[in-house]
Structure formats: C-alpha cells, structure tokens
Amino acid sequence: MSEAASGRNELFTRISEQLGRAVQADSESRYISALSGYNEALRHIQQLIVGMDDGDGSGSGSSEQLQQSGLEAKFGEYADRVSQLLHQLAPDPAFKDDLRRAQKALAKARQARQRQEIELALRLYIGGIGSYQKVLRQEKEASGNGSAARDSGDWVRELRRFASTSLKEAENLKRTGLEPPPLALPEAPSERAFASSESRRKSTGVVSPVERLTAEETAVVRHTSHINGLTFLPWLSNDIDENFALASPFTDKDGLLTLSPKQQRRLGRWRRANRLFDRPTIFAQAGCKHIVQETVTDCSFVAALCVCVEYEQRFRRQVVSRHLYPRRPSGEPVFNPAGKYMAKLFVNGLWRRVIIDDQLPVADDSRLLCTYSTGSDIGPSLMEKAFLKVMGGYDFPGSNSSTDLHVLTGWIPEHVFVQDEAFDAARMWSRMLSGSRHGDVLLTIATGEMGAAAAGALGLVPAHAYAVLDIREACGFRLLKVKNPWSSLRWTGRFSHADRASWTPALMRQLGYDPDAEREDCGMFWIDYESVCMRFDAIHLNWNPQVFAHATATHFEWPLDTGPRQALYDFSANPQYTLTVGRSAQAGNGENSEQSGRGSGSEGGNADGVQPLVWVLLSKHLVKTEENTDFIALHVYRGGRRVYEPRAALRIGEYVNAPHVLMQLTAAPGESYTLVVAQREKSKTLYFTIRAYCDVPLQLAAAPLPAFRDVVQGQWGSFSAGGNSASPRYLDNPQYRLTVDSGRTGSFSGMLTLEAAQKHPVNIRVFRSGFLVTRVLEANTVATSGKYRVQFCACALDDIDPGSYTVVLSTFEPFMFSRFKLTVGLDAPFTLAPIPREGAGMRLRELHGRWQPCGPRSDGSGQSHASTPRFLVRADRETTVLARLQTPQADPLPLVNVSIFAFGSSAALGPPLASSGSYTNSPQGVATQPTSVGCAGRSSDYLVVASTWDHDVGASFVLYFYSEHPVEITPLFLEA
C-alpha cells in the first residue's frame, strides 16, 4: 500500500470516529460538542477530496471516483446539519436572519455546482460566507461594548471554523471548476422527479398505463412537493436502490421533529432504536394488539395503522409494511443498524419518498413519547415518524382515519356521516360486510363530541378514532370488533366485556370469544352495529383501488385570482374536466361491484345492468398543516361541455372542509360528463388531484374552452340601464353586433357569459339582424340566458347559421347601475362591436301629451287625423330626423303609430314621409326610420302625428324626437 493510500485510510478512520461522536452528541442534545465533531470531520473530508482532485497516481480511478462521490455526499449532508445547528444555537435572535440567508445560499451553491453552474455557485458561496462574516462582526461588536453578558465563545469558534471550511470549499470549486457528483441535499424536483419520460408512471396503486405529466401538472407536482417547509419528492423506481448501509449512524438532515407541548414537558432525550431495545424488529409482531398511542394527538393515524397491521395478518397481504425501507427481497422491512429509513407515502396525488432516522423521543423514565409497541417492534414508531414528518411534526392536530389511510396505502377514502338524514344503515352494513370479506376495504369509526359523563358511562372517548379489526354476522347479530388506539378504555354497552347476558355459547363459538381473555383491558372490544349507528358520528372506509380495472388522474392548480372568490352564480372560471366513459363487452360493474361492497347505490342503471360504476376522487393538496377552512365540492353535469352556471347538475356535491371528496355515479357507456370543482369563499391558491376509477376505460381531460374568444367591458349607467324586455327603455341597454363570416361552411356554436360587478339580476338576449333592437319580438329571438340571474348569466348558441346578430345585455329593473363583463366564446372566428344607441349624435326633444277618448284616429281605414295629437316641425336646413312614440303609463298598452307628413295648408296633412308601420303595443313603443327633411335656403314645415288604432283610448304618451340639426317644434291640437 502506498504512503498516500495509507494516509487516506487513516483519515477515513478518523472521519468515521468524529462523525460517530458528533451524531451521538447530536442525538443527546449536546449540540456544541456535535458542532465541534461535525466541523472537524468536514475539515478532514475536505482534505480527502482535495487530495483526490490532485491525484497521486495510485489506486483505481473508478474506485476513487466512487469514494469521492460518497465523501462529497457526506460533506453536503453534514454541512447542512452544521448550518441548522448554528442557526438553532445563535446567542442573539438578531443573528437568525443572516444565518438563515447564509444557510440557504450555501445550499443553493451546492445545487448550482451539481448543475455545473460554476459562476452562480461561486456568487452564492461568497454571499453565504459574507453573511457569516457579518454575524461574526456583529458578535464581536456586541461583546466589545459590554452591552450584554454572553456565553457564546464556543458557538463563535464553531461558526468561524465552519465559515473557513465553506471558504475552502468555494476555493476548491474555483480551482477545479469541476462538477461534483450529486450531494445529499434537498434536490430541485424539476431535476429529479418531474422528467416526463416513458419510464415514469403516475403511481396510483391501480392498473394504469404509462402516462406523462403535462407541463402544467409538472408545475403543480413540483410546487406541492414542498410541504411544511420540507421537500418530499415523487417516488421513482430507482428509489429502492437508496443506500442504507452506512458506516456511522444516520442523522436526518431535516433535523428533529417538532414535539407537542405535552411531549416537550416530559421529554428526557432523543434515543436511537438500538439504545432502546436489545434486538429491535420492524413490523415483526402479528396483529395490532401491541400497538399503543402515546402522547401524540394522532388517534386517527394510530387507528389507521392498527387497521393495516390487522389486515396484513388476516389476509397475508402487505398494505403498509411494504412501504418501509430497507426491506428484504420478499418485501418485509428490516432493522437498519445505521438508523436510516425511507417510507413511501401517498401524498398530494403521488407516491413520495420520506427519509427519516430512528431517533425517537423518550421521557425521563425511558418510556417512548410516540406511538410504540409493547414489544421491541419499532415499525409503528418509524411509520408514525415518517407520516408526522410530512404533517409538520409530532404537534399534529389530527385528521380522520380515511385521510391517514389514504396516505399510508393509497386506498380510496370515503367518509360517511352516520347521523346524516341520507344515511342508509342497511346498505352501509351490506357494503362494509362484503368489502371486509373480500379484503377490499379498511374500516375505522369515529365518535363525535359528547359530554364527559355520557362518554365515561359508555367507555368511549369523545371525538376519537377507533380501528375496526373485524366485521361479522353471527347468530342474527351484526357485530364489529374494534380497538381504541390508546390500548385501554373499552366500550361498556351491549356485547362489551361487561355484557355477559348477550354472549351466548353459540355466539362465543362463532366469534372465538373468550370471556377470561377479556379481563385484561387492551382497548379491544365487540360492539353491535346498532350501537355504532347510535353512539358514533362517522364511518371511514378506504377501498382497494385495484378492484377497479381502470383509473386515470390529473393534477391542477386553481389560482386565487381566477374566478370569483365565492362562485355562487358563476362557474365559468372553475376547474372543469371532461370524463368520458368507455364501453365494455362484459356486464360492467353490476355483480362484482356489489360483491366487493363498493356499489354506489346512486341513481341510474338500466334494465340489463350494464351501466358502469364510476368513482371520482377530488383531493386537495397539503402545503401547510393548519386549520382547514377551504370548503370544497365536486359537481357532475352531463354532456362533457364546459359548465357556466351552477344549475341542471346531474349530481350536486356537498361543500366540506375535508381534503378528499368522493363522488360515485352510475354512468352511461360511451357518454361524457363534466366534473366541476367548486369552492366556497376562496381565500388562497389551491392545488388538486382528480382521480377517476371504473371497470371500463376512462378518459379525463380539461373541459374544452372555445377556440375563439373576446371579452368586452362596459357599464349600465343613467342612459343605458334600460331594464328587462317589458320596460320602455329596453332599447337603451348596451347592444353589440356579433358577426360570424357568412361565407363559413356549416353552423357555429358557443357561449356568451355576462358578469355584473353588482349583485343585480342580469340577462343576455340574442336577436337576428345585427342592427339596433328597438322592440322585442319572440320570433326574432335566437337565444336567451333565460330567467334573470343574480350577477351572472350564460347564453348558449347551438348550431347557429353564420351571419350578424344583435346581443342585448340588460338588468331586470331600469337604473340598476353596474359595470359588466361580456365574454363571447365561439368555435368560429367572429367580430364583436358595440351598436350605437338610437339617435346617437343627434339632438333630442322629449315631448309629452295625452289622447282623449273621442272619434276615430286611425288612418288605417282612411279616417281623419283631425283629433289626433300632432306636432309642427320647422326645419331651416336639410336634416335627418327620427321620432319614437311610447306609452309608459298606459295599462293595457294601446296599439299606436307615429308618422311624419309634409305640412299642408291650414295644418292639413301633406304627403307621408315616414311611418312606424303597423300599429303595435310594444313596451318600447314605435319609431320611424331616420328620414331626411328640409332643404337649404328656406324653412320647411312637417307634421308628426301620434295616433292610436282604437278611438276610445285615453292615455298619456311620450314622443322622443331626434334631429341632426336644430329644429323648431310646436304642439298642435294637443291637450296636455
């Protein structure tokens, strides 16, 4: 062996000893000693790395590369831990911001080295080291002026040593300019887990084809890989090759988990598993009797874990133990002397890797302060630690067992409220019994709030989760075997250990019940189903997704600024997906679904029973563990088209502040459905996964948006808020000309939506012509949004011929002022332009009058206009005029006409120049077409005649007279 190789071996031995002492000190909370050991080890690791970079010509190049890779991984791992400890032990809170900046900068510098971004890495190194130097200067100044008594010499020494080591790390990078092998640092998800290659799967735990993540999905998965300040990367197939054979005890670089206040008061120290038990095992004990919930408030998780362990014993199928590594080739997890473990958990729509060490919180009496086994089985403790690392620490507020089981197993969560009016006790029992017999369901139950006295009398705990270990029908009774995660405190009602009368010999034989064995209170008991329905609040079911032959999923973001905060009227901006259900040559779900217990019992189903059952699971992603104030729902519509208004739904979902919403429906083969995600009082950006399951093929895609789209902003004001079609002012409403090229082959379709800023009832109506609409004719109406709806409405255009159309936007009452947004989306190119209101750019005179019941006024039969109200109009120049006649106060509306005549002698009628046409009683009245009158150089007189068809009309009227230039108007034979 060469002298250089001998020196390296000596350094390796020294580093191993130093790290062993440092990790031990770290686990015993002797943090300054740990810092000293880590810093010394880092200095020697750096010596080795520099020596390998320089090379001495001895040894195998490939073996030295492997050695260097491991060294640099260790360097990054323990350097990160030193940064954390320096931040944690800072003698002055004022230092923490700079220390945090330094820690982040150095971590990013190592990531930049990994990407070969040498210049960026050097800048980050300089910034991080500069922050450390700033802290050292501040500490020196504070110590020098005597402003505070400090005992920080050891901490300052270790900070100075680490800053020096980091500087040498940067200098070595600058000298070599080489890309180091990957370091054991939090990795950027985009670099590792989000490559859209043929080899990666959306891991669903069900039969599914290889799928790619879209760019949008990748962004969502990347963002929600960061949970409670830590990064949990998606599981990849090569994660099973994780290195667990370490030379020294492993310490999680993410640090120790946060403890609950109760744990903190009782904490003695953190201990390694091999210091707690002589021969620790991992999930080696059968059943769940030995599992005990300690001071952590995670009864839902412990109940879930108990169910899984009991299931594995009963069915000989691993559902949770196979997700803990390292493990044997057969799948059973094994104890790791190095204390490094990896759990595979289903979080935020994907399986993810969670790295932990085996340091566990222990009280002064050497009793574990986390979930533990009464034997030496540390499997429950490790699985709980991995779960709670994701959830933010041991100070976990708890959830519900179906949510926790979904994380542990990926099985489909279903939450049923027992006290709900729609609860069907008989059908629920049938589903639970069938699912349990086939091993397709995991069951837990939960109590609600109840008085302490009542709970104590029943042997129950309020707001508490219980594991269901077995479900049986025996001797005519429906019974459940249940475990309290506390491993104590049992049900005292019917079929409990105290109820000797109900336990007949035949029943005990069928259930294997031994009264003598029940004397010991281990929290396990039998209870009848009727008592469950009476005393418990919820049943949680998790269904094996593998009972479905097909599944599909998508991940998406719902930004805060997309759509209204409370979408009571407007679904246009809600996330929507089209679910298309395929066909199968077999009978579909019918018999098999009911045998497995997963039949939905929803409406539908045809005579031959071939309609497939579809389950749709909406899951909200976890970013931070906090009180859940996000009420979400999932609605289902027929057709697969985009939904704009919350009406005519096939299934209306209930709004719940739960992370999962399950919708079950019986579908028609070959049909499409629209899934609409809804939220009440949206307060932040949310991220979701939708996963659909069925026995026939499924397709899930974003609900299609129109190919062509335009948005216009406008308002209803003093002169444009005309009210509904029964209002005389309807024609004053905003109107737009919608034109689709008439040369287009075939029809077009689309949707118009109208959103008001104020909560006014609004409406869209589409007419033929493309010109200003002056009165409403049903025969001329192409489409309408229907009844006036508060703040938002939608109008569908289906198979419309190309051409020009008029779009009228109205509020229900006149003078309802508001801004509005009109959105037009079509499958064909179009133009949208405002139509000027009647008389735009002209002068307006408003004239009032009244008809008195008298002789006939109509000229329709050649009768005289002598008693009809008339107005003399004198024009001094050529001008365009327009007259509109309305009777807003009349009830009923009379048939009316307005005409313009040349002026004859003695106020007689001359030749007619313009007329409103047939007599009509439209609320908007009648109007002439714009007409040119007058001539240059002399005055010309004209008569405007307002007439009714019936001679006995007595009503007031309003005449609106528009002219391009000033005219003189005089009423004739008019009684006001």
Tell me the three state secondary structure of residue 402: helix
269 within 8 A of 28, measured Cβ to Cβ: yes
Cα(9)–Cα(811) distance, integer angstroms: 86
943 within 8 A of 875, measured Cβ to Cβ: no
Cα(71)–Cα(242) distance, integer angstroms: 16
Residue with tokens 């299934």: 651
Long-range contacts of 74-77 (CB under 8 A, 24+ apart): 74/19, 74/45, 74/184, 75/42, 75/45, 75/46, 75/49, 75/169, 75/183, 76/110, 76/183, 76/184, 76/185, 77/183, 77/184, 77/185, 77/253
Does the annotation mark 484 as catalytic?
A: yes
Tell me the three state secondary structure of residue 187: coil
Does the annotation mark 464 as catalytic?
A: yes
Task: Indicate which residue of 484, 574, 724, 763 is catalytic.
Answer: 484
Cα(576)–Cα(597) distance, integer angstroms: 29
Tell me the three state secondary structure of residue 452: helix
Cα(175)–Cα(463) distance, integer angstroms: 62
Distance of CA 219 to the CA centre of its chain: 14
Measured CA to CA in angstroms, residue 647 lies from 323, 652, 655, 764, 777 at distances of 44, 9, 16, 17, 27
| H and E: helices and strands count for the chain | 18, 43
Q: What is the DSSP letter of 300?
A: H
714 DSSP β-pair partners = 820
Measured CA to CA in angstroms, residue 452 lies from 455, 463, 491 at distances of 5, 11, 14
Tell me the three state secondary structure of residue 924: coil
324 within 8 A of 383, measured Cβ to Cβ: yes
232 within 8 A of 386, measured Cβ to Cβ: no
839 φψ region: left (φ > 0), alpha (ψ -120 to 50), beta (else):
left
Phi/psi at 532 (5° precision) = -60, -45
Strands ordered across the beta sheet of 324-325: 324-325, 340-347, 350-357
Give the Cβ contact number of residue 745 at 10 Å.
5
569 within 8 A of 645, measured Cβ to Cβ: yes
Q: Exposure of 758 by Cβ count < 10 A (0-12 exposed, 13-18 middle, 19+ buried)?
A: middle
Residue with tokens 């830590």: 230
Cα(662)–Cα(655) distance, integer angstroms: 12
Q: Which among 664, 691, 345, 688 has a CA at the least distance from the CA of 545?
A: 691
Reply yes or no: is the peptide bond before residue 326 cis, omega within 30 of 0: yes
Residue with tokens 């009058």: 849
Task: Indicate which residue of 323, 464, 660, 760 is catalytic.
Answer: 464
Task: Indicate which residue of 288, 299, 306, 522 is catalytic.
Answer: 299
Q: What is the DSSP letter of 241?
A: G
Cα(832)–Cα(598) distance, integer angstroms: 51
Measured CA to CA in angstroms, residue 948 lies from 282, 749, 894 at distances of 98, 43, 7
Residue type, 766: V
Strand runs labelled E in 80-170:
none
Give the Cβ contact number of residue 396 at 10 Å.
21
Query: Which H or E run contains 18?
Result: helix 3-27
Does the annotation mark 795 as catalytic?
A: no
Instruction: Locate 283 and state its tokens.
Output: 């999930």
Point out the residues that are catalytic: 299, 464, 484
